[in-house]
Amino acid sequence: MGLILTVVLAVVAVGAVNQAALETARHAYAAALQDLDDATNDRQDALQAAQVLLDATTADDVDDPVLLDQLAELVAAAPELSSIVALDLESATDPAVIDAERSSLESFLDAVRSEVDAIVAAITGVEESRATQELSIAMADLEAAITEGDAALAESDGRVSDESVRSALGSALDAAREIRASSSATPETMRNEAASVRSAVAAVVDARVPVFTDVNGTWCYWENNSFCVTITLPRVGDDSVNQKPGADSYYPSRGDGWTYVVPGEPCFTTVVGDASGDPMGSAVFYFCPRGVSSSDRFQNYNNAQFDRIYISQQGAIDPYFRQSEWGAAVGR
């Protein structure tokens, strides 16, 4: 009787062990299947993020275009994942079979995770490269603004109607230099400081009192910017005679090396031509700073938002605009 009882107990123990192994195998398989599902979703998210980044980024946006190419290659090489036919754990009763299937799942899971890691690393590389390039561009723009501000400050000394605008420009330049020297400055901060400097420069320009020597520079004909003239005035004087250019009058050269300007005109008005003063070899010369126009009725084109010069024997016929402003002035 004791022997029979022992056998029965042994059979029960083996069955319990098998059931425990089966449940363990099923649980491990289900966990691996869930991990694979999560990793697949992560992969899809990474691929979408990579494509969005690629669509929004050009080689000029990064300091190392190779990183952009590498990300594009990863996205292009990503295969379509085949559907996983999962075990029916309710009907699967062999732990060894379940464990074998789980091992296959985990191998696939490792491959998916490696792919996700590579895509995420490539995304990070491109984003960091974009940040570096953005910082570099912002710094270059800030440097340019400081250069523009320094030039405006120096050139406007004693030539503005309101000295406070020059003080404001000086303060803006000091703030910009502090940002330039800061190791923690962001591109946004740099752009803001550059904008502040340029705003202060614009205020100085608006307050600046034009003088005839502003005519110095290169000017291009309004209909053809390949026809240009460069003007450099050594000296400037004032004419004491209120005369208008016309058929019966001209401004004779005095032979003293000075360029004389006629008062009474909204634009600076003088004459250019033969040093002998021959009126047939001379022409009227207008320099009209932005914001004013000549009273001369002969004007074929006028854009008072820009500086202009006119050189003609018939009055102010056709303008020349500064070479640097020509496109904006004529709309081309």
Amino acid at 185: A
Look at residue 295 in the predicted model and tell me its pLDDT: 72
For 119-143, how does the pLDDT look when each residue is reduced to its tens digit (9 = 90+)?
999 999 999 999 999 999 999 999 9
For 148-185, how does the pLDDT look when each residue is reduced to its tens digit (9 = 90+)?
999 999 989 888 889 999 999 999 999 999 999 999 99
Helix (H) / strand (E) element for 118: namely: helix 95-155
**Contact yes or no for 25/95 (Cβ under 8 A):** yes
For 183-232, how does the pLDDT look when each residue is reduced to its tens digit (9 = 90+)?
999 999 999 999 999 999 999 988 988 888 888 888 888 988 888 888 87
Length of the chain: 332
Question: Hey, what long-range contacts does 265-271 have (CB within 8 A, 24 or more apart)?
Answer: 265/294, 265/295, 266/292, 266/293, 266/294, 266/295, 267/292, 267/293, 267/294, 267/316, 268/210, 268/212, 268/215, 269/245, 269/294, 270/212, 270/239, 271/245
Look at residue 6 in the predicted model and tell me its pLDDT: 39
> 143, 208, 204: which is closest to 179 by C-alpha?
143
**Contact yes or no for 99/28 (Cβ under 8 A):** yes
| 209: helix, strand or coil | coil
Structural Rg of the chain based on CA atoms: 40
Look at residue 214 in the predicted model and tell me its pLDDT: 87
